[in-house]
Amino acid sequence: MQGIAAALPIIMGYFPIGFAFGVLAATAGLGTGSAAAMSVFVFAGSAQLISVGLIEGGAGPLTLAATVFLVNLRHLLMSAYLAPYLGRLKRWQQVLFCYELTDETFAVHSTYFRRHGTPPVAYLVALNLSSHLSWVVSTLAGAWICGRLPVDTKLFGLDYALPAMFIALLIMQLESWNRAVIALLAAALSMAFFAGGLGHWHVILATLIAASAGAFLETKQQKGAKTQ
């Protein structure tokens, strides 16, 4: 129950975004079953939304796979951060955990791990599965309704649901001025790299540089505290 309760902010954010994805998938020509299958097996909001656009534009399988790979490279950074907390889990539990890892569950998990350590496995499973289930159900709802009624995602503001949820999850991480500065640095670098034509690499590079700056700043502050 604690895991499900912790997932409620994610679930509330997933319903409008998953619904919007279902609508866009149906508009692009994917059936309800195909849209739901993508949400079950891919389970990556931004990658799924990009994939639908590529499919609608007639992109080939190699282009689709390469684009999704680049978009999801940030999962390497997220899993590397969480790895020290997952050492006591069995290998198959780690595999299942990583399969369910998204930007949103990472934000909630990292906050809990940093404050309280690793929770029981039941907590992790409940949080991840309830989040995943809400994504699949909302996808089904969006695809099914779009197949019967015309739905304009912009009319209901559904196209803003994803950035709104990311902003809310960012606020959870801003526990100090240092974190706020690093967040602003990452945002500025990401926009600069994107404007420079780096494509989807702008997120990875901005994250690496900002995280390195944060680690340097934290290490320097710790050394200063010890000398005092």
Only one residue has tokens 């990472």, namely: 106
- CA gap 45, 18 in Å, rounded: 8
Q: Do 109 and 184 have their domain in common?
A: no
CB 152 within 8 A of CB 23: no
Instruction: Give percent of the chain with pLDDT exceeding 90.
Output: 21
Q: Do 122 and 153 have their domain in common?
A: yes
What tens digit of pLDDT does each residue of 135-155 get?
999 999 988 888 777 666 666
Q: Do 9 and 119 have their domain in common?
A: yes
Q: Do 15 and 111 have their domain in common?
A: yes
Q: Do 75 and 134 have their domain in common?
A: yes
- For range 158-184, the mean pLDDT: 74
| Structural domain span for residue 168 | 2-173
- CA gap 193, 187 in Å, rounded: 10
- Predicted pLDDT at 224: 67
Token pair for 98: 């990583």
- Predicted pLDDT at 147: 72
What tens digit of pLDDT does each residue of 52-64 get?
877 877 777 887 8
- CA gap 154, 132 in Å, rounded: 24
pLDDT-derived band at 226 (thresholds 50, 70, 90) equals low
Counting the structural domains of the chain, the total is 2
Out of 158, 173, 188, a domain closes at 173
